[in-house]
Structure 1
Amino acid sequence: MAPSYALLIDIAPADADRADFADTFTVIDPAQPALPVGELSAQRGDGVFESIGLIDGHAQEVTAHLERLAHSAELCDLPAPHLSQWRQAVAQVAAHAGAGEAVIKLVLSRGVEGGQSPTGWVTVAPATDFAASRADGIRVVTLDRGCPLDAPARAPWLLSGAKTLSYAVNMAALREAKRRGADDAIFTTSDGFVLEAPTASLILRRGDTFVTPAPTGGILHGTTQVSLFARLAAQGFAVAYEEVPASTLASADAAWLVSSVRLAAPIIDIDGLSLPLERELTASLNAYLLSGRD
């Protein structure tokens, strides 16, 4: 889906001493070419990004997304983004979204090969309609990510904890899931532990405890998962980060894939084994996620 509004950003240093960054934004036609051929985001996927849900013009949890953008940039040796500049860019594109659900994308690239400065842009576009996935659930398959659980600690250059533009593997996993008759996938380690989905975090319910795989395994720490854990804890539920053996997935009392745009999609089948669909609880989770969250 093509963006409906887009800004190019003249990247300011992280220590820039100014309050207004409006003159660093250039409105561009999202239907027209805007980046040079040498742009490394296109040539090598050399950059980082964030997707922010937008509900009736309200950008959800902007601070958490900006902090994760900065963390990804640090892991990739990119210049630290000036978060006030990016926050103002988010506000400007959000003002052009209108009612309903939309998605804002933030991209920070290394720029043109051989150049001296990074490239940044922010877009907004209508979100895909995920009503059916939220209400009726999704089927998933587990796919081996090809690395053991301790790989990120031993090989940080794999950038497992960064949200990079290099999403070819993630998209290949989604295509493989569909070839197997499923809607999505859950990555597992080669030594049998659960990681995350290609574009979402995993939450499991075991009785009154909600569990997600510990981010120490190179998992991208999901902003939506963190928000839901805070909500559930406030309601009196126990929440936990654990190493989750893949063999225990199908024994969960319920499970969801959660992300900033699809929100909470209940899992009704894992590798051909059925899981309960908790409609009332799922509706409650999504009602919260659709509320204005800062």
Structure 2
Amino acid sequence: MTVLVFLDPKFPEGRLADAAVPQLMAADLGATRGDGVFESMLAVDGTARKMDAHLDRMASSAQALDLAFPERESWERAVSTALSELLIQAGPTEAVVKLLLTRGVEGTGSPSAWVAASPVPAEVRERTAEGLAVLLLDRGYDSTVADRAPWLLLGAKTLSYAVNMAALRYAKAQGADDVIFTSSDGKVLEGPTSSVILAVEEDGVKTLLTPELESGILPGTTQRALFDAAEAAGWARGYGPLEPAHLMEADAVWLVSSIRLLAPVTSIDGTPIPSSPELTEELTALLRGAL
């Protein structure tokens, strides 16, 4: 079940469209070249969570692509329309809300923009609860390339996710569930669809750590919300650089994202690592309270 709402000047609240029939032109540059940006956010009982943070990041991604970004109010109204319709069709539920923006049909100069809302699949929560077996995979760039080569669009959330999906398929072919990318100079980066967070406790001080943004990773909206909530609850927080050894030695490691929230990592490259249901429960409660 998916609700589609297109941003359309003729429809101030967004134009509802039938998700069961074709809606995108075959010559749209989003389809032919992956030339566009997107965001995925969680909605609970008809209310989108962290919408400002997602719109901020999407606008930044669009700027990196020199892509015209529709007014925030247009996105907000389209999201509201989509979630209202989803409530009618599915009732109160957790939902995945995707915001998509492409350069549009080649030669027209008119972007395509739409919202898609659908219930969160049950298996997402089930897989998160079981924990994840993760592979470390080399992304092929060193951790300083983002500044040297801005055209690589590292740190922008683009539609060009073929490499990320290929990494996940490779991991599953090896019997793993997910991936943590590393740089060619040995730094921990991020997952294909998630941020990496680890917890350490020393001398009674609990600290959350995540890789530094300067390494060319996507700024995580969920990571930031969790860090803010944890700091308010007395946790310390820090930013890399991190190496694989830090993951192996941590008290717990998670992949975090807007839809899965906290997914505990239970093994890396086939080696079991510490995990903590207690910390997962504590941090999940903090995160949900911050959304």
- Band the TM-score falls in, shorter-chain normalisation: over 0.9
Matched, 1:279 2:277: yes
Residue 23 of structure 1: aligned partner = 12
Q: Residue 198 of structure 1: CA displacement?
A: 0.1
Residue 229 of structure 2: aligned partner = 231
Partner of residue 189 from structure 2, selected from 191, 195, 202: 195
AA in 1 matched with 2:263: A
Matched, 1:101 2:90: no
Contact 2:196 2:211 in 1 (8 A): yes
Residue 222 of structure 1: aligned partner = 220
CA–CA separation in structure 1 for the residues paired with 2:196 and 2:139: 15
Residue 66 of structure 2: aligned partner = 77
Contact 2:13 2:78 in 1 (8 A): no
Aligned-partner SS, 1:281: helix
Residue 185 of structure 1: aligned partner = 179
AA in 2 matched with 1:114: G
AA in 2 matched with 1:80: F
AA in 2 matched with 1:174: L
CA–CA separation in structure 2 for the residues paired with 1:45 and 1:203: 29
Q: Residue 191 of structure 1: CA displacement?
A: 0.7
Contact 2:168 2:179 in 1 (8 A): yes
AA in 1 matched with 2:207: T
Q: Residue 77 of structure 1: CA displacement?
A: 0.6
AA in 2 matched with 1:251: E
Residue deviations 1:46-95 (CA, integer Å, cap 9, x gap): 00000010112221110000001100000011013311111111111122
Q: Residue 291 of structure 1: CA displacement?
A: 4.7
Aligned-partner SS, 1:96: helix
Partner of residue 172 from structure 1, selected from 147, 157, 166: 166
Partner of residue 253 from structure 1, selected from 251, 254, 258: 251
Q: Where does structure 1 lack aligned partners over 5 or more consecutive residues?
A: 12-20
- CA 1:203–1:222 in structure 2 vs 1: closer, same or farther (change >3 Å)? same
Residue 128 of structure 1: aligned partner = 121
Contact 2:134 2:171 in 1 (8 A): yes
The total of aligned residue pairs comes to 282
Residue 110 of structure 2: aligned partner = 117
Which contiguous aligned blocks of 4+ residues in structure 1 show a shift greater than 4 angstroms? Answer: none
Contact 1:5 1:28 in 2 (8 A): yes
CA–CA separation in structure 1 for the residues paired with 2:4 and 2:120: 15
Contact 1:60 1:292 in 2 (8 A): no
Q: Residue 281 of structure 1: CA displacement?
A: 1.9
Residue 56 of structure 2: aligned partner = 67
Residue deviations 1:139-168 (CA, integer Å, cap 9, x gap): 101000001001111100000110000000
Contact 1:110 1:118 in 2 (8 A): yes
- What's the TM-score once normalised by structure 2's chain length? 0.93
CA–CA separation in structure 2 for the residues paired with 1:274 and 1:35: 45
AA in 2 matched with 1:84: E
Q: Where does structure 2 lack aligned partners over 5 or more consecutive residues?
A: none
Residue deviations 1:192-248 (CA, integer Å, cap 9, x gap): 001000000000111111100011111100110000001100010101111111233
Contact 2:193 2:257 in 1 (8 A): yes
CA–CA separation in structure 1 for the residues paired with 2:251 and 2:283: 16
Residue 14 of structure 1: aligned partner = none
Contact 1:268 1:274 in 2 (8 A): yes
AA in 1 matched with 2:8: D
Q: Residue 276 of structure 1: CA displacement?
A: 2.0
CA–CA separation in structure 2 for the residues paired with 1:32 and 1:112: 19
- What's the TM-score once normalised by structure 1's chain length? 0.92
Identical columns (%): 48
